[in-house]
Each structure stands twice: as structure tokens, then as C-alpha cells.
Amino acid sequence: EHGRVKGLSQWVIDGGDLLTGANYVRAIQVRSATLYTAARATRGRPLMRRLCDANCGQVETLAHILQVCDRSAAARSDRHNRAVDFLTDTWRKQGYTVRLEPAISTSLGGRRPDMVVYKEGVAAMVTDMTILADHADLDFGHRSKVQKYDTPEVRAFVSELSGVPAAEVHFSAVAFNWRGALSRASAKDLALWGVTRPQLEVLSVRILEMGYRIYSKWKCSTWRKPRGSRT
């Protein structure tokens, strides 16, 4: 997946332009999944503890910590929100209006896309940010988000908001995985909407930095799921 979007990994070679030395090392550790976890520490020692320290009942891998564990839920939400904030700032500097998380009723249930981006009477896009598992098909994740929001009710809402005809409203997604890879379909759409390749590289790096922050907060926390809990 990393090789599908050219230039997104240039920071690995010249990371000093984007990162301090410490943050460069941390970003590499997240991307390569070499941070300490019970699963990694017990390779070749099957009798040692491999389950999550938060009492999840799941194997303690970096993927589990960054994507699933209840202990890191708040930090994961912060990672998502910071990525949305980065794109919001990028588009607003280009003269777009960005409406965040509008609540839209549809026949299929409520929809709340992360961003509606538009220039009044000119162009409008609905897009949603998602950070997926490292084994996920990122283009499939992109298409799934588009299908979720591309409904007549959402088109009508955005058309009324932006003054753009409903048939011309564009639907997209920003589908990364936690290792910083980006869907090629997402990259193509973002380029059409003025997000440059260097900006995408910065966003990829920020996701890795936030991944390390999630890991650090998880390590420092003492919260554990109560025994017998199913939630």
C-alpha cells in the first residue's frame, strides 16, 4: 500500500525536514511496528503472557493498541480529529468553506460526514476521514465511505448549503492506515481539491506521530477492563 502513492514516503529519506530526530525514530517505529508489545516480546516463548495489559482478552499487538483497545479510545479519537483539523485548515487557506460533521437525516439513517467542503455555487464535496487496519484494502475503504454518504438526501442537503446542483456534488474519502499509507483513490481526489503531495506527506507523518502518542498514553495508563465486562 505504501508504494501506491508516489512521494508519500520521501520523509523516510529526508525526515529531518519534517521531524526532530526523536520523532523521526518514533515514526519509523510505528510504521515498522517495532515498539514493545507483549506479542512482540514473547516471540518464541509461547508460555509467556501475550494478552493485552488492559484486560481486553486480545493479543497485545501494536495494531490492537492503536486501533481497537478500549484503553486508547480517547487518544484514537484525538488522532482522527487532528487529521481532520489539518485538512480543514488546508482547505480554508485556499478559500473553501468547511462544514464539520453536519447531521443529515436519510432514509438509511442519520449521516454525519466529517467534512463538507465547498465554494458557494462553484464546487462541493462530502468527505470522511478514516484510519484503517494495516491489512485493509485502502481503496475499498475509500469506496465504502463514498457509498455510505452518496444518497439523495445528502446530495440535497449539500446542494442547499453550497448552491451547487445536487448532481454535481462530489463524494470522496481520506483513507489512511495506521502505518501512514494512503488510498490511491483518496490521493487522486485530494489532488483535484488542491491538496499537494507534500501536504499529504505531512499528514501521513502526523498520523504516525499521533500513533506513537496513542501508544505512549496506552503505556502510561493503568485502566483495565473490569472482569466479566462484555463492552
Please enumerate in sequence order all residues whose Cβ is within 8 A of that of 201, keeping only pairs 6 or more positions apart, or say none: 7, 8, 9, 10, 11, 18
Model pLDDT, residue 231: 52
**133: number of CA atoms within 13 Å, CB side?**
9
Write down the pLDDT at residue 40: 94
The region of weakest confidence among 2-6, 152-156, 219-223 is 2-6
Categorize the per-residue pLDDT at 48 as very low, low, confident or very high, splitting at 50, 70 and 90: confident
Across the chain, mean pLDDT equals 95
Q: Strands, E, within 46-186: which ranges?
A: 97-100, 115-119, 123-132, 170-177
What share of the chain has pLDDT > 90, as a percent? 89
Segment 69-111, tens digit of pLDDT? 999 999 999 999 999 999 999 999 999 999 999 999 999 999 9
Instruction: Bin 53: left if φ > 0, else alpha if -120 < ψ < 50, else beta.
Output: alpha
Stretch (H or E) spanning 195: none
- Most distant pair of Cα atoms in the chain: their distance: 64
Rounded Cα distance, 203 and 195, in Å = 11
Say if residue 141 is exposed, middle or buried (CB neighbours under 10 Å; 0-12, 13-18, 19+): buried
pLDDT of the residue at 229: 64
Residue (of 76, 56, 36) closest to 213 by Cα position: 76
At 194-220, the pLDDT tens digits run 999 999 999 999 999 999 999 999 999
Q: List % helix, strand, coil for the chain (3-state, nearest 5).
A: 50, 15, 35
Q: pLDDT value at position 138?
A: 98
- What's the average model confidence in pLDDT over 115-142? 98
Rounded to whole angstroms, the Cα distance separating 57 from 135 reads 21
The pLDDT of residue 43 = 82
Can you tell me the distance from the alpha carbon of 198 to that of 30, in angstroms, rounded to the nearest whole number?
20
